[in-house]
Chain A
Amino acid sequence: MNAKANKNHVTSIEPAYYQAITEAIRKEAAKILKDETVVGVVGYLPGRRKGTASPALVTTVEEAEKLIFSPACVNNLSVYLTKAKKGVLKQGKVGIVAKGCDMRALAGLMTESQLQREDLFIIGVVCPGVYGFGVERTGTLTDANIARKCRECTVHMPEGADVAAGTHTELADLTPEEAQELARIEAMPQAERWAFWKEHFSRCIRCMACRQVCPFCYCEQCLCDKNRPQAVENSPRPAGNMAWHLVRAMHLAGRCGGCAECERVCPMDIPLNLLNRRMAQELKELYDFEAGLTPVDKGPLNEYKENDDQSFIK
C-alpha cells in the first residue's frame, strides 16, 4: 500500500540490520569499558537456542565483543538497575543497551529519583521491533513475528541516549492490533468486560513474573506479599488475582513506560499491557501526561495543580 511513501518503511527487517547494530554496540561497549567510562555494560548475549538472547552484565572488553542485538532482544534491561535485584550501580557508572521503549522506563526511573542520568551511559538502539511470544525466530522481523507492542511503536529513535546504534527503519503497514483490542474491550458492556478479565485472571498463577520484570515495581515490600495483615489474598485464587492485577495497574498509572514486559513474560498469556494502555489513556485525558523519553520533575500523580480535573470526585 503506502510502503513506498516512506523510504524507511520496509516489508521485512533483515538480519543484516540487526548485525549492524550488534557491531555498533560491541564497538561502543568495548570503548567505554576500555577507557573506564563505565564499570560494566548491561546488554544481551545470544542464548543456546537458535534465535534467543539473554540479558547479561559484561565487564570486560572480551565479553563486550560477544554482545548482540537481534529481534530476540526483548528484555527491558532497565530492570537490572533498580530494586534489590542488582547492585551494579553501586560499583560506578554503568552502560546499558536500551531500545526506545526501555528508555521510557529509564526516564521514568529518573523522574522518580531511582536513577541519575550521570550514572548511566546509554547505548540507544534504533529499534525496528522485536519478536512476539511463541513466533518463528528466523532472524528476520516481519509482520508475522513482530511483538504486538512494536506494531504501534512511537519511539524507534532512542532520543537522549549517549550514542545511537542503527538507522531509522520500520516495518510498513502494521495494523495496530493492541489498539484494536483495547477498543473492542472498551466497547463491551461492563459485565462482558468484567467477564473478560475475570477469565484471564482466573488463569493467573501468581508467579509474579509481571512484577519481577517491571522496572517500576521496585517497592521493597510489595503490598501483595504482606500477610500480617493481608492486604490482598496471597493465594492464587480468582478474587486475589483480580485484586493484585488491579492494584498493580493503579500503582503503575502515570509511571508505566509501556514496555509491555509484564505481558510478554506472563506464562498464562494475560494481556496485561491492555490495562497499562487503558491507564495511560486515562492519564492522557486527565493530566495530558504521556510517558516519554525525557525525565520530568514530578509524575502526574505526584503533584497537584489548581486546574487538575476533579470530575472523578463524586
Chain B
Amino acid sequence: MPQIITEQNLRNLIDLLVKEAKLVVGPKLSGSVVLYEPLTAGADLTLDALPRRSSKELFFPICEDILSYKRENGAMKVKDVDRSKFPEAVLIGAPPCDAGSPAILDAVMSWDYKDEFYLERRRKSTIVGIACTKGDDACFCRAVGLAPDAEAGSDLFLTPLKDGSYACNAVTEKGQALVAAHQNLFAEGAGAEPKPFVDQAVAKLDLVKIKKWLEEHFENPLWEKIADICVGCGACAFICPACHCFDINDEGSTDDGVRRKHWDACGFAKFTNHASGHNPRDVQNKRYRNRIMHKFKYYDDKFGKTLCTGCGRCIRACPVGIDIAEILETINTKQD
C-alpha cells in the first residue's frame, strides 16, 4: 500500500529522530551555502537547493582520525578509533545523484581491503532519498543512467507531490523499519499528482561506447584539447558524490599525534608524485584523463558501475569551465 507523509510530518520525523539520539543529516543552510549537515530540528531541512558538497561525507568524511599515537615511558602506544561509537545515522533529503553514490561506492570500499570506517557508517545509516524536481543546465543524471526518480541507494524514497506532501516507497528493510517505527507520521493512500521533473540538456549517453573509446584512446589529442586548461585543483573531486580518493597524513609530533585520512584528488600534481621525484602523470591533461578514465572505464572494469551520478557539481564549480558532460558528449559522437 503506498504511503504519504506531509512536509510537516517529515520535519516532525526529523525532530523525533534527533530525540532518539540519531545523527540526522540533511541539506541545511550553512553561511551562504547549503551543505549536508547534522540537523538539530526538522525546521533546519532545506530542500530548495542541491547542497554544494555531496552527501558522501556522511560515510566518507572530509577528514577523520584513524588512529592516535603517543610515546609513553619510551614506548609508542597506538590507539585505534572505536568505530562502535559511530552513531546510528539517517540521511534525509538526498536527491538520486547523492543518494545513489553509496550504491556505487560500496563496491570499492568492500573490495580487497574493507574500509571499516566507511562500512561501519554505512551499516549504521538509513538513506531517505528524494525525487528531484529541480535541476539546471549542468544536471545530467539521465545521461549516465540515473534519473530524477531513481531509487538506487535509497532505503526510503520520497516523491514530492503537487500538494506539498511526499509519496513514500520503502525500498529496503531499513526503509521499512524507519516507517514502521514512526507509522503515525505516515498515512496510507496514493496522494496527489507528483511534481514534474525538469528536462535535462544532455541526451542519454552510450556508456558502453564511451568506455570502448576510452579503452582504445589512452593516448589521444583530445586530452590535451580538453584538459590543458585544467589548473589542477581538487574542486571537482571534492564535491563529487563518487570520487573517493584519500590521503593519509600523520599530524602532530614524533611523540604525540594522530593519523588522519582525508580527501585527495587525482587533479593534484602531487597525487602521483613518487618519492623519487618522478611523476608518471607529469602534465595536467594526464591527470584529467585519469579522472575520466576512472569514472567511465576503470571503475566499470572492476565493479561494473559508472563512477558518476550526473549531479553536475563539477561542471558548476570548475574554475575554468571544464564541462564533463560536454566531454562525454564529444566522446559519444566520435566515429573513430
**B residues in contact (CB < 8 Å) with A:** 30-33, 35, 52-53, 62-63, 137-138, 201, 228-229, 231-235, 237-239, 247, 249, 251, 260, 262-263, 265, 268-270, 284, 315, 317, 319-323, 325-326, 329
With an 8 A cutoff between CB atoms, is A211 at the interface? yes
The 6 closest A-B pairs by CB, nearest first: A54-B321, A265-B319, A209-B233, A212-B233, A48-B326, A207-B234
B321 touches A55 (CB 8 A): yes
Task: Chain A residues near B137: list those with CB within 8 A.
Answer: 49-50
Task: Tell me the minimal C-beta distance from B39 to chain A in angstroms.
Answer: 17
A54 touches B320 (CB 8 A): yes
Task: Tell me the minimal C-beta distance from A147 to chain B in angstroms.
Answer: 14
Given the contacts A203-B31, A235-B262, A213 and B233 also touching, CB distance less than 8 Å? yes
CA distance A234 to B268 in the complex (A): 13
Task: Chain B residues near A199: list those with CB within 8 A.
Answer: 31
Given the contacts A55-B229, A205-B263, A235-B260, A265 and B235 also touching, CB distance less than 8 Å? yes
B321 touches A205 (CB 8 A): no
CA distance A97 to B229 in the complex (A): 15
Task: Chain A residues near B31: list those with CB within 8 A.
Answer: 199-200, 203, 269
Contact residue among B201, B228, B268, B325 (Cβ-Cβ distance under 8 Å from A57) = B228
CB closest chain-A residue, reference B320: A55
Task: Chain B residues near A48: list those with CB within 8 A.
Answer: 201, 323, 325-326, 329
CA distance A86 to B229 in the complex (A): 8
CB closest chain-A residue, reference B268: A208
A267 touches B317 (CB 8 A): yes
Given the contacts A57-B228, A205-B263, A235 and B234 also touching, CB distance less than 8 Å? no
B231 touches A269 (CB 8 A): no
B235 touches A207 (CB 8 A): yes
List residues 42-61 of chain A with CB under 8 A from any CB of chain B.
47-50, 52-57
Contact residue among A79, A85, A211, A269 (Cβ-Cβ distance under 8 Å from B284) = A85
Contact residue among A85, A208, A261 (Cβ-Cβ distance under 8 Å from B234) = A208
A79 touches B231 (CB 8 A): yes
CB 8 Å contact bits of A68-104 with B (1 = contact, 0 = none):
0000000100011000111000000000000000000
With an 8 A cutoff between CB atoms, is A268 at the interface? yes
CB 8 Å contact bits of A259-293 with B (1 = contact, 0 = none):
00100110111000000000000000000000000
A205 touches B270 (CB 8 A): no
Assuming A53-B321, A213-B231, what are 18 further A-B pairs, CB within 8 angstroms? A49-B138, A54-B320, A85-B231, A203-B30, A205-B238, A207-B234, A208-B268, A209-B317, A212-B231, A233-B249, A234-B251, A234-B262, A235-B63, A236-B62, A236-B263, A237-B63, A265-B233, A267-B238
CA distance A305 to B155 in the complex (A): 69
Task: Chain B residues near A56: list those with CB within 8 A.
Answer: 229
Task: Tell me the minimal C-beta distance from B267 to chain A in angstroms.
Answer: 9
A–B complex contacts, Cβ < 8 Å, 30 sampled: A47-B323, A47-B326, A48-B201, A48-B326, A48-B329, A49-B137, A54-B321, A54-B322, A55-B320, A57-B228, A75-B319, A75-B320, A84-B269, A85-B232, A86-B228, A203-B31, A207-B239, A209-B231, A209-B234, A213-B233, A225-B270, A235-B63, A235-B249, A236-B63, A264-B319, A265-B319, A267-B53, A267-B239, A268-B33, A269-B52
Task: Tell me the minimal C-beta distance from A228 to chain B in angstroms.
Answer: 10
CB closest chain-B residue, reference A53: B321
